[in-house]
Each structure stands twice: as structure tokens, then as C-alpha cells.
Structure 1
Amino acid sequence: MFFRKPLLPTPWKGHHRGNNFSKTNVTHYYYTLFSVRYILFLLIFLSSCFLLLIAPFCFSSTYTELLFPNTTTRKWLPITPTTCPGNLSLFVYQLPPDFNLGLLRDCTHLNVYTDMCPHVANHGLGQPMSSAGSWFATHQFLAEMIFHARLENHPCRTWDATLANLFYVPFYGGLYASSKFREANLTARDELAVRLVEYLQMQPWWHRHLGKDHFLALGRTAWDFMRNTNGGPDFGANCLLNLPPVKNMSVLTVERQPWQGSNQYGVPYPSYFHPSSVVQMNAWQQKMIRAERNHLFSFIGGPRKGVEKAAVRDELIKQCNESTRCKLLKCGRNGDSKCHEPLEVIKVLSQSHFCLQAPGDSFTRRSTFDSVLAGCIPVFFSKHTAYTQYGWYFPANASAYSVYIDESEIEKKSIEEELSKISSDRVERMRRKIIEVMPTLTYAHPNSSNIRFRDAVDVALTALVQLKHAPSKS
């Protein structure tokens, strides 16, 4: 278990008084004590009356909403508190450490490209960026650790599996997969995934519904767990999501396979902001509403080689470079690049009206959620970057919060001209919409059990409960 509630403090006991009072002193003592008690009683009585008068305004048995101002219409937008949807009772498996926390012992080898030790700190939030405790340099592929930490401390958790109607399996599959990308022996690459399935099938709770009330949360894309068996290119993936028992489960992943992932559901990449309360969330929303945006659009990213999406990125970089209304933060392997510095990223995004979201090595990218955090309207070039991925999180009406320019048209159109055609009123409406959904795309700090808004984890739990009660497809 990650967190323990603090023990209640032992009641303070006063020291015994000595027997050195005279009879006169005792009489005076009790007279004084009576007077003090009378005054205290009067103060308590008056205070109680005052509290009864103001209680309807200051206190409530159930918190309803916190509102934040809209600078255009002066209306208020609500933030909904956390509840346990559909009588949710969540059971968290206590897996053998080999499947999750035990992997962190060798954190230097969890990724073939980088040392993950600084990133897996603080339950996957990474290194703190400020003393306030809400901002962290969070790695884009650690949603699985944050999910685990949040659910360990979640108010809907039960320790009694007989009462549970939803079962979470805290497998750090993404970290394991990234540590084995260069493993040539496929049996060794698949080993931990196969062992997990064997372990689950031995549990009594699995057999109640053959795993249909169980779910995984994975920090990497579904492609990393669906190795192609027809002789195609080997990108280092393992077989986890192709195992028949796992197909019975619900799988949360930062990018689902759009055509074969019927049991896969997209969840947000983690960004840098992890508020502990609705007050912190509210303050940030207000700041982004009022942010001064000097750039019409911006692009944060680097070129790609040897992939189909390389042409799109090259064109975006070219057009941004040629425009005086675009801010480019170019990524690269040289030491001058600032695109991996969280403060620089948020600074650029928060100064822009629109943020270009080109596909990267796969369809989705973390920058989509960074831009929403900064109140910057995303511009997509593939429907699989967001529209087919995050149905639980973004509005169904894509034009309400984003702009879409098909990648096949990108070389024929001027991005600056297309974005300039959008009226200021519509831009304001779109920004209000992304700021409205900002809480549900954010991963709250896992140490907080009373955040009073629905974060990305709460949205997923709500959707999973609804899936459980949905009629089965024949």
C-alpha cells in the first residue's frame, strides 16, 4: 500500500496538582473556577448560535460545485466533485512485486533510451518543479504508476473482494515492455505478461466473470503490447494484449489500436500539473483564462525520419518558421533544445491561441494534453490523434474544442490563413470548452483523497462501471 492514514493523536492529559492549597485558597479556587466556567459556557453558547446562523452559507454535508469565472460572459462554469458512481466498489489486487514495484529496483534499465530513476520517483509523478507540490516533471509514459497510486488511496476502494464490482490489476506493463524492446528472445520478452495471466487465472475473483470485471492501466501505446505475428516488422512489442484472457479485460492505454482494440480505451497522457485540491485546479483555470496570448499558433516538436508522418512534421516546421505569428520550439538531440523543459513548454503553449498536434512515432502525443493544460486550442491532422482515442474525455463535437486539417491537405493550405479565418468569438468559446474539461484530463496528486473534482482516473472509473452494466453484444 502506498499511503497510510495518520494515527489519531493521543488525548492530552494534564499534570496532577499538588495538595498544597489552604481551605481559604480552595474556596477562592472553586469560586474562580465557577466564574471561568460560567464565562466559557456563555461564550460557547453565543458561538453556537452564531454558527447555526451562518452554517447554511459556510457548510454543507455534500459539496456540490466550485465555480470559476468566464471573462467573456461572466457566467460560471462548474467543477463536479468526486463520487462513487454506480455503487462502485473497487478492489485493488496486491500483486507479487515482480509485476509492479519490484521492477523499480532496477530503474536504470527500465528504458533502453534513458535512465528512468528520476521519473519513477514520487509514485510516477517524477521530480517536483516547485515547492507548492502541484507541478512535476512527469514522464509521458508513466500513467500506469499514477493510476496505481491514485487507486491505492481512492475513496471508492474496498479491501473486501467479495464486495467489489470492479477489479484493478496494477501491472507496470509499459515499464516492463520498454525494458525489453531490444530483447531478441521473444519468449523472454513475453515472460512477465504470460506469468501475469497465469496468476490471474488462479484467483477466485477472476472466475466469477472470467475477468470481464477486471481492468489494466498501461502507460504506453497499445502497439507496444500487440506484437505482429504475420512476419511484419518487429518494433520490440510483447504479446500481452493478444493473450485471450486479456481480451476479456478492459485495457486503459494512452493510445488504443483504432481498428482492433475493441476492449481498449484511451486515457490521457500525464502532463505536469497534479493538483491536490479543487482550489488549486480553479486557480490554474482562472490563470489560463486570463493569459495573454501573443502567438496565433505554435508547434513544439522535431522532425521524423523513416516514418509516414515525417512529411507532415516537416511541413509544420516549415510553415511555422515562415510565419511571424507562429512560435516554434524545435526538438532535437542537441543540447540547445528546450522542448523537454516543462516550464518552457507550458510557457510557449500558454502564450498561443492554437497548438499544432502532429502525429509522432504513433498517432497520439502527450503535447495534446499539455496544450489543454495551457488553455491552447489543439489543431489535429489525423483523426486518430484524439477523435478515435479519448471518447471518455473530449466532447463528442470535435469542432467545439479543436481544429481539424486533414494531413493530405497540409501542403496545399496555409495554416496561418486557415486559423486566421476563425472568429475571435469562436476562439473564445473553444478555449472555454477546453478549460472546462481540463480537470477531467488531469491526474490529481495521489496523496490527496478529497480533491473534490473528477480527474482522469475518476472519469475512467465511471466509464468502466457503465461498461460493466451495459448490455452485452451478441
Structure 2
Amino acid sequence: MCPHVANRGLGQQLPLSDDGETGSGSGGAWFATHQFIAEMIFHARMENHPHRTWDPARASLFYVPFYGGLHASSKFREMNLTARDELAVKLVDFLHRQPTWRKNNGKDHFMVLGRTAWDFMRSTESGPDFGANSLLNLPRVQSMSVLTVETNPWKKKTNSNQYGLPYPSYFHPSTSAQMLTWQTKVRKSNRSHLFSFIGAPRKGLEKAAIRDELIRQCGESTRCELLQCNKDKNNKCYEPSEIMRVMTGSEFCLQAPGDSFTRRSTFDAVLAGCVPVFFSPHTAYTQYEWFLPDNPEEYSVYIDEEEAMRAKRVINVEEELLKIPRERVEKMRKTIINPIPRLTYKHPNASDDGGGGFRDIVDVAFDALGRHVRSILAGNK
């Protein structure tokens, strides 16, 4: 992870201009950002946030800068479950002793996790159950609000404290001008392919069974561009410029579940102005209510994979996409390009006074958390 924690979590800077083109002059907005690094970027933004106060008595929200995802990554192979949980337990014990916590029993505290909620919901103590630790199962943590790149969608039915946070993509502009330059580029992009798929097969995962079929269909179609990820040394799946090239050249980007329901690729697609095609509601619709448009049909296409499996039929994705009228495709593209700023993590050094005055993911989350906490505390009175 060492290269990925550079530049406060943005990763290594890429030699791309503001419009994403390779060149000697870099606009400074493009980085090789790791998909599981949101917790570091969020922390960097919080340190410079204009609403930050150094006086706890004035604060209405308390941010806990715990890098739970990075810690979990280092403990996946630890067989001693007590050792896996040790740092999480120490964290909540420390928080519980703070006067700021005791004031509202932690209800005005929040943390950000760069990995999926499943990595912090180990449920057994007798063996190596799935998940690095049981952080999210600790009672005191359940008093807090937790932002994570993938929530447990079923737990929301029982008043969950988890809220979906978009994965970071590669674009971290410092100014509104950089953002507008990119939006202009994707509006004008020549999209020579009807659809594209970027990803690798997933063996032995029922929810990812659709992947093999999509790879087959895409590979056999002249209207699809396939960027298949494998262990080959020439694999281009981790080259941001190649990913953006494929997506900005496609009308639709297929977003099949992988190791879990959600994908960083969803937000790469939105950044590229490529209409996402989903096969599970849990890839986006049940995850990112604070950030995505209210009506999924306005910005995406949904193909019900489970319904097709029950009917024992194979969906021809190309045929389904060709049925969509051109006017609707253009409208969907406009709907996803306009909110790109609120689905982007701006550069931590961006200043509202210096032309970075657009609202990004952190600003949207911050405002939503404020409303949520005020509602909870008002209900307790």
C-alpha cells in the first residue's frame, strides 16, 4: 500500500492534463488512487474543512480519524481473533472515556471506513469467520454513524448506522475550472462503442456469476469494448488513463457485482459520463442515497439478473441496450455528468476561496450527517 498512501491518500500523481489527456504539462488533478483509500482522503479533507472548530464545546459533529480499512488489510491472515479485534476494542474504550462522547453517548460521532462493511462484521469468536474484525458489531460503535464504501443493505431495515460513501476515482480537482474542463470533455466525447466491460471473472461466487456471461457477450460483440483483467504483466486494468479511455468511448458501462455488490468502477463510469448498467440493486441503489439522483431510471439501466436466472434464460445485453431510444440515452448521460462534482473527492488543498468552491463527496456527506445527527438528538429530547 505504500505507493497508494502518498499525497494524503490520493496516490501517485499522473502526468495528465485537466481534461485527462497525456502530456508533459500536468493539471495536477489526476492520481493513481486506490479504491480502498477513502478514509485517508476524507481525513485530509476534514483537516482543512472550513467548518472545523478547535473548541469541542462549539462542535455539533465529532469525526474519528481511524484508518480501519488499512488496519483490517494488515490483519486478514491473523489467526488470533483477539489480536484482530484488539485495536478496535482499544479505540472504543478510548472514545468512551472522552467527555465529548459521554455528552450524547457517541450519537454525534462518526467514522469513515475505506473498505466494505463486511470486513468489519465478523460474527463469531470460535473460528476465522469472514471479516477482519468485529468493529461494527461493537455496541458502542453502533451508537455512532459509520460511512463505508459498501453497507450491509439488509441491516438498513433495522435502523442501521451505516451510510454508503462513494469509492474514490482518479480525479481530484483543486478548482472549479478543472472540474468544468473535465465535464466539457466528457460531454463532447466520441463514444464509438455501445457498451464496455472492465473486470475479471470471479470463480465460486454466486452473486458474480453474471460476470462470465458478460465477458463472453462483450468479447463476441463488435459494439462492445472489453478490458479483461488478468495476471498478465501487460494487464491495463490498473492504468487510469486506459480505464478512462474505454469508458469515455462507451455509451454504457456494465457494472456486474464482484467480490461484493459494489464496484469502484461505478464511479469511474460516472466520471467518464458513461451510463452505468446494474445487475443488482445493491451495487448502487441501496447504497448511495445521499449522492446519486433519486430516480435510478434517470441515470442508469437495470437488468434483473436474478429474474433471468429464475426464468432460466440468458439476457442479451446488447439487444436490451439497443432498445433504449437515443433521446433517453442523452438524457441519462446529462443526468450523470451534471452531478460529477458531488461524486468526486476534491484535492485536500482545494480552497473555497481559491476556485475550489464546488461541493464534493465530503461536503455532501458532512451536510447529510449534520441533518441526521440533529434529527437523532432532537428525538432524544
Q: Runs ≥4 in structure 1, deviation > 4 angstroms?
A: 230-233, 471-474
Q: Secondary structure at the match of 1:139?
A: coil
Structure 2 Cα separation of the partners of residues 323 and 231 of structure 1: 49
Structure 1 Cα separation of the partners of residues 220 and 129 of structure 2: 38
Q: Is the 8 A contact 1:253 1:267 kept in 2?
A: yes
TM-aligned CA distance change 1:285 to 1:232, over 3 Å: farther
Which residue in the other structure is 1:150 paired with?
A: 45
Displacement of 1:228 in angstroms is 2.2
Match of 2:361 among 419, 438, 456: 456
Structure 1 Cα separation of the partners of residues 284 and 292 of structure 2: 8
Please tell me the residue identity of whatever aligns with 1:243: L
Match of 2:328 among 426, 438, 444: 426
Q: Is the 8 A contact 2:121 2:131 kept in 1?
A: no
CA deviation vs aligned residue, 1:229-278 (integer Å, no higher than 9, x gap) = 28786234201000000000000000001112510000100000000011
Q: Is the 8 A contact 1:180 1:236 kept in 2?
A: no
Please give the TM-score of this superposition, normalised by the length of structure 1. Answer: 0.74
Match of 2:349 among 447, 453, 457: 447
Q: Secondary structure at the match of 1:123?
A: helix
Matched, 1:203 2:98: yes
Displacement of 1:336 in angstroms is 2.3
Please tell me the residue identity of whatever aligns with 1:125: L
Between the two proteins, the alignment pairs up a number of residues equal to: 359
Percent of aligned positions that are identical = 67
Please give the TM-score of this superposition, normalised by the length of structure 2. Answer: 0.92
Please tell me the residue identity of whatever aligns with 1:190: D
Q: Secondary structure at the match of 1:194?
A: helix
Structure 2 Cα separation of the partners of residues 217 and 188 of structure 1: 22
Name the larger-Rg structure.
1
Structure 2 Cα separation of the partners of residues 284 and 312 of structure 1: 32
CA deviation vs aligned residue, 1:20-53 (integer Å, no higher than 9, x gap) = xxxxxxxxxxxxxxxxxxxxxxxxxxxxxxxxxx
Which residue in the other structure is 1:86 paired with?
A: none
Structure 1 Cα separation of the partners of residues 174 and 272 of structure 2: 18
Matched, 1:326 2:224: yes
Please tell me the residue identity of whatever aligns with 1:454: R
CA deviation vs aligned residue, 1:390-432 (integer Å, no higher than 9, x gap) = 0001111100000000112275221001000111110010000
Which residue in the other structure is 2:182 paired with?
A: 284
Which residue in the other structure is 2:205 paired with?
A: 307
Q: Is the 8 A contact 2:81 2:128 kept in 1?
A: no
Matched, 1:380 2:278: yes
Matched, 1:268 2:172: no
**Larger displacement relative to structure 2 (220-229 or 406-415):** 406-415
CA deviation vs aligned residue, 1:52-84 (integer Å, no higher than 9, x gap) = xxxxxxxxxxxxxxxxxxxxxxxxxxxxxxxxx
Displacement of 1:307 in angstroms is 1.0
Please tell me the residue identity of whatever aligns with 1:357: Q
Residue segments in structure 1 that go unaligned for 5+ positions in a row: 1-115
Q: Is the 8 A contact 1:183 1:189 kept in 2?
A: yes
Which residue in the other structure is 1:106 paired with?
A: none
Displacement of 1:386 in angstroms is 0.2
Matched, 1:118 2:3: yes
Q: Secondary structure at the match of 1:391?
A: coil
Aligned pairs for 1:116-265 within 5 A: 116-130=1-15, 131-229=26-124, 234-261=129-156, 262-265=160-163
Residue segments in structure 2 that go unaligned for 5+ positions in a row: 16-25
Q: Is the 8 A contact 1:372 1:438 kept in 2?
A: yes
Please tell me the residue identity of whatever aligns with 1:118: P
CA deviation vs aligned residue, 1:172-220 (integer Å, no higher than 9, x gap) = 0000000000000001001110010011011110011000000000000
Q: Is the 8 A contact 1:380 1:402 kept in 2?
A: yes
Please tell me the residue identity of whatever aligns with 1:274: H
Which residue in the other structure is 1:438 paired with?
A: 340
Q: Cα RMSD (Å) of the superposition?
A: 1.4
Please tell me the residue identity of whatever aligns with 2:255: Q
Please tell me the residue identity of whatever aligns with 2:194: L
Q: Secondary structure at the match of 2:62?
A: strand
Structure 2 Cα separation of the partners of residues 430 and 185 of structure 1: 49
Q: Is the 8 A contact 2:12 2:32 kept in 1?
A: yes
